[in-house]
Amino acid sequence: MADQRLKGMKVAIIASDDFEQVEMTEPREALRNSGAITFLIAPHAGQVQAFQHDRKGDAFDVEMTLDEAAPDDFDGVMLPGGVINADRIRQVRRAQDFVVRIDEQGKPVAVICHAPWLLISAGLVSGRTMTSYYTLKDDIRNAGGQWLDREGVWDRNWISSRNPRDLPVFNRLMVELFSSYWQAAGKRREAA
């Protein structure tokens, strides 16, 4: 029987051009295989270009722009890495506001590789424990966070991982985190 722990859960995947392809496609597949509905959201309409390390990858259709996406309509967010993507997206105020609102509501956030830059720019890292690509450890520490060199770090409503090699752990932890939130959200709805 298919895993349907996340059935009906709406997850925003926020990326710009030059994201690391496997850091979007594999987590998206893990979410969808668990029943989640994912939306690739970008600052612009059309398509976003992926990279496979240092080579051009595939282009992916943008399903919603940041101007169209309301954080209250989503149950969680996943942020792929890629240094150029992460550096671009961290400068987009709508992206910062989106993750702030998701975090304020205690919804799950999953980040990998360079993606924590958006959380840093949004002012969310102070007091948090996480991991990332190793070159971000000083950025995380300077933002008031604790950086650990681990495949995956779970801190309250956040999951973080270092790089594509960590994807099996990242995907497993992400689905577990999103599932725990989704089950609790269902119980809250039933009680209301």
Active site residues: 113-114
Query: Residue 112 has what DSSP assignment?
Result: E
* The 152-155 sheet, strands edge to edge: 64-65, 37-42, 10-14, 76-79, 109-112, 158-161, 152-155
Cα separation values, 58 from 55, 115, 132, Å: 10, 19, 24
Three-class SS state of 21: helix
Q: Which residue has the tokens 């681990």?
A: 150
> Could you tell me which residues are beta bridge partners of residue 112?
161
From the list 90, 88, 86, the residue with the least C-alpha distance to 113 is 86
